[in-house]
């Protein structure tokens, strides 16, 4: 086989069998082949590192609820000037493998979308909570976040014994045992899954709203206070999706 053919073979080889295939070329002294071996060994090492990170996140969850059903919950959208706050609650099966899953903010939009689909297919249960701008103005963003989280949990049909919440505050009016985990979306498998589901859900909503309320650049800023967003507010005014309480804080009437 020439170098190109070997490269094509290695590209098509399943990662789980890649090491065995590479070993068959170890004795080939051609420099091009040896470079390919180094290249694909790094790919295996990267996979092993990603898998080790995932196992740590799963072990983190099990430390809190060994042999119990655990729900991870996270929210997105506390800071934007417009749009809802969205929370997601997720129960993952104990043997699931979602490689590369972590805090949604650390993922590209393409990776989030791919993982969102994997989570939808793998999760035992998913709940979504959405609280809109008028309600945020009425009760404040912290209470709106808690309300969205309670909504998300109410959509979980399964019995569960433990809730892991991203952040430093537990959810009021929840009877189940719960733990607030600072930085939980980068420590816990189930919170990371909830982070991705909440982020993708809200981003899709803002993309649709951007088609209705043009000029605010919501397809890019997702309702956050970018310069284009502020310029549009000043030139076009506010929409029903804007959080008036947030705009007062920014000195905009």
What is the dihedral sign for C-alpha 105, 109, 115, 119? positive
231 assigned binding-site residue: no
Looking up tokens 């170098």, which residue turns up?
A: 3
Q: What is the DSSP string of 1-70?
A: --HHHHHHHHHHS-HHHHHHHHHTTTT---HHHHHHHHHHHHHHHHHHHHHHHHHHHHHHHHHHHTTS-E
161 assigned binding-site residue: no
Three-state SS at 158: coil
146 phi and psi angles, rounded to 5 deg: -60, -40
**Continuous H helices in the chain:** 3-12, 15-23, 31-65, 109-122, 133-139, 141-154, 189-212, 218-221, 227-236, 244-249
Contact 90, 194 (CB under 8 A): yes
14 assigned binding-site residue: no
- Binding positions are 74-75, 166
- Binding positions for a divalent metal cation are 74-75, 166
């Amino acid at each position: 086989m020439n170098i190109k053919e070997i490269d094509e073979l290695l590209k098509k080889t399943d990662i789980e069998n890649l090491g065995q295939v590479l070993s068959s070329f170890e004795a080939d002294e051609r420099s091009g082949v040896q470079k390919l071996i180094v290249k694909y060994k790094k790919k295996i090492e990267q996979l092993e590192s990603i898998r080790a990170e995932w196992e740590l996140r799963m072990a983190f969850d099990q430390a809190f609820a060994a042999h119990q059903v655990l729900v991870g919950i996270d929210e997105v959208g506390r800071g934007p000037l417009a749009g809802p706050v969205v929370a997601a609650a997720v129960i993952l099966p104990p043997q699931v493998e979602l490689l590369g899953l972590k805090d949604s903010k650390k993922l590209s939009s393409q990776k989030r979308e791919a993982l969102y689909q994997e989570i939808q297919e793998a999760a035992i249960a998913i709940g979504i909570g959405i609280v809109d701008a008028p309600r945020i103005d009425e009760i404040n963003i912290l209470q709106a976040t808690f309300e969205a989280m309670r909504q998300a949990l109410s959509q979980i049909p399964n019995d569960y014994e433990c809730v892991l919440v991203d952040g430093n505050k537990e959810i009021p009016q929840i009877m189940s045992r719960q733990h607030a985990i600072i930085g939980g979306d980068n420590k816990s498998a189930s919170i990371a899954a909830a982070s991705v589901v909440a982020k993708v859900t809200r981003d899709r909503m803002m993309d649709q709203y951007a088609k209705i309320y043009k000029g605010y650049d919501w397809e890019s800023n997702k309702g956050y206070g970018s310069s284009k967003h502020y310029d549009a507010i000043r030139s076009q005014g506010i929409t029903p999706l804007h959080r008036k309480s947030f705009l007062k804080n920014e000195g905009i009437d």
